[in-house]
A and B are shown apart, each in its own frame.
Chain A
Amino acid sequence: EVQLVESGGGLVKPGGSLRLSCVASGFTFNNAWMTWVRQAPGKGLEWVGRIKMKSDGGTTDYAAPVKGRFTISRDDSKNTLYLQMNSLKTEDTAVYYCTTRYKLDGFDLWGQGTMVTVSS
């Protein structure tokens, strides 16, 4: 089955750290550019960042609100995408989705999301 499954969400205090994982199955993960998108409670979708496949350099790009605090990485041997979140702020509270362009030129494959709550 083609799917993305996120995990690692939870409650963390401001200034803390958390690492999210996204396990891919059913497609060739190492050929995929992978993206994180988040959605704060009651708010819209926000692009967090992206990592290219290794043959395209494996480079990362981040949205301004998270640059310098969040790091996206991948382990192609484990078909897993990561989001390391440091120096967390209350405004980082959101559902975090991993997504990719599976068959189409658009985000046509999404995980179910994992909730991150930053609160004291």
Chain B
Amino acid sequence: SYELTQPPSVSVSPGQTARITCSGDALPKQYAYWYQQKPGQAPVLVIHKDNERPAGIPERFSGSSSGATVTLTISGVQAEDEADYYCQSADSSGTYYVFGTGTKVTVL
């Protein structure tokens, strides 16, 4: 089955930049989406269609794509950004959706 691979954890000091990668064979063909999830809460969409930011999401969140890897960048990380982050996309046919393995962002 199709998989999206993320690093398990990223640690960053306040004000620094966090970058989270997501790799998958179908990413050159399919859009990627990013979700933030805090403990006990439902996920929140922070990036859609590779690099578009929904209304209400801070400008420090951005997305980019290069071949089979997409990246979520959090510039000027704040304590409130500590959370789990998941990429999400579809297989090459667009039929089956998949979530990445998840990355825990720790703000030191």
Count how many pairs of residues, one from A and one from B, have CB atoms less than 8 Å apart in the complex: 57
What residues of A have a CB within 8 angstroms of the CB of B96 in the complex?
47, 61, 63
**What is the distance, in angstroms, from A41's C-beta to the closest C-beta of chain B?**
12
A113 and B48 CA atoms in complex are apart in Å by: 22
14 example contacts (A-B, Cβ-Cβ < 8 A) are as follows A44-B99, A44-B100, A45-B37, A45-B102, A46-B99, A47-B88, A47-B96, A61-B95, A61-B96, A63-B1, A63-B96, A105-B31, A106-B47, A108-B54
Interface residues of A (CB under 8 A from B): 35, 37, 44-47, 50, 61, 63-64, 97, 104-108, 110-113
| Residue B107, interface by CB 8 Å | no
**What is the distance, in angstroms, from A37's C-beta to the closest C-beta of chain B?**
8
Are B101 and A107 in contact (CB-based, < 8 A)? no
